[in-house]
Structure 1
Amino acid sequence: MELVCPAGTPAALRAAVEAGAHAVYCGFADETNARNFPGLNFSREEMAAGIAHAHARGAKVLVAINTFPRAGAEPLWHAAVADAAAAGADAVILADIGLLAHTAERHPGLRRHLSVQAAAANPDAINLYAEAFGVKRVVLPRVLTVAEIAAINREIDVETEVFVFGGLCVMAEGRCSLSSYATGRSPNMNGVCSPASHVVYAEEGPDLFARLGGFTIHRTPKGAPAPYPTLCKGCFTSGPQTGHIFEDPVSLDATALIPALAKAGVRALKIEGRQRSRAYVAEVVRTFRAAVEAVAAGRPMPEGALARLSEGQARTTGAYAKTWR
């Protein structure tokens, strides 16, 4: 299986390639990609240089142009596709139907992958994207079980890519009404989920309050670990229950499920983390490359090597092997 690894900066791209990534995904430094944060992403010159560096070492580069264009601003997204093609990208990762149609018409030789932002989670939807826009691979949402993924693969004729480590989105991938409501910024249009510019920490009495867009997401005793106020991992009261209603503040780690995912027909394993450091990227990529090679060779996989890199040092297999509350 292909190991698809994150690169938020040119340094992270080089680290991922040197650590053994089969492919690296990254985006331009503007709102055309869903990790539009200050200090991240690539200029046009950096993208061309990064692609050349990866190709010289046998790795691919996939350019994420996976936000939804604003009405009247389509030329910005069209230019991103053209620039990715000119730089020699191996594929573009797209979500918007209009942008998929534009790319298929204007750049027919450029390989098209369907972003997880499109939230295509059944054979009918995936086959439509393949037939109408020539999509060759779909990144599946993180809300499917392994059995559901296997069933989907039996009814489609395109590659599937799944997340195996990093941040865990429990919503319909990028369509988070909670984050949009709290901050006024859409994750799949502005490229920002729970943006740092809307985060405030404040000490009130014996507790530390973490707020997002004016909403209290966590309240912890002073001196205790305070998680980042991501809405889906916040503490809420629902009926008689108070706690993490949607999901605990943990990281996805599906290392142990790699053999099952391979049997289910998954073609590529994706690591989340374009906001992470190059040291983090290198360590995660090395570990997963060893795991993928072990599976291919029929050897036992290394386990637990990434525990300290998980959010709150806690891990979950997400929907792959559990039922929702």
Structure 2
Amino acid sequence: MPERMLAARLYGPGDLRLEEILVPEPGPGEVILRVERALTCGTDVKIFRRGRHPALGPLPSLFGHEVAGEIVAVGEGVWNFRPGMRVVAANSAPCGACRFCDRGEFSLCLNLTFFFGAFAQYARIPAPIVRVNLYPIPDHLSGAAAALVEPLACALRGIEAAEVEPGSTVLVMGGGALGLMLAHLAKSRGAWVALSDPHPERRETARAIGVDLTLDPREDIHAALQQALGELPDIVFEAVGRVEVWEAAADAVRPGGRVILFGGCPVGTRAAFDTARLHYQELTLRGVFHHHPRFVGAALNLLAAGRIPVEHLISGEFPLLRLLEAFERMERREGFKFAINPWVD
């Protein structure tokens, strides 16, 4: 390995710098990847603009969390991975020993270890992730496709939490990458699926992946759903991360229905719900955050089997030197995710 590498580091709100820094060395239980591809994420854009994230640590900080690459070095105690293996890492791992892990509530782990540093030429994967959430990539799967493992694992957990079944009627509010994943996974379970998003291009992509009905949330989606179904849907996924959409999601589900609050709102915000409707119509409102280890392996299996419409989720590729341009494209809703290649100009 060379001594130095190019990496993106976040210094504060809107202050992301590409710098030459030392290539990391592996500690006990860790591995070093030569990054093949990293993917942009809506969370990355939020962190970039806000300059903070509870798991990010002190600034300046390495940045990016969806990564696939080739192992180039392993630390002491690593026996099941070796240099030359292509692998994909989830962005976190639970400790397996706290009271939440004992109950199988791994996303609430008191000692959750996070990874940041995908937007670089080399990345150090923490030991807990190596133990729990690092997987070999099948030879036929591209690095960019493999790096979808983490967001897809989150979507799989949301689908399970919602109890989507054959014949379920589902509304997904938000047509970003995760909204599309939720819609696709719900369809694959035999559900009837509608998706609402104000951007025509996103509605067009939703139709391309097989969504039954697309809606513009600026219009009367309740009337459209009533006309299509005779009632409001069984399940509503909020996949935007804005308070007003959380509130709209609770209004868009049938009596007895389930609302999955999937998109994260800014810390400290509050939402208001109709208490009479919540109580007397027996609604279920559930927040779903992050993934569990078993969903990571399941996500990789789906990607390897070609059962995820990768071509609709990854909108193009940028060199690391143009990372900010990729973020700007995402903010303008010009595409979904972008693959970042740290080895080209």
TM-score range, shorter chain: under 0.3
Greater length-normalized contact order (CA 8 Å, ≥ 6 residues apart) = 1
- Which structure carries more helix by proportion? 1
- Which structure carries more strand by proportion? 2
Question: Please, what TM-score do these two structures have when normalized by structure 2?
Answer: 0.27
Question: Please, what TM-score do these two structures have when normalized by structure 1?
Answer: 0.28
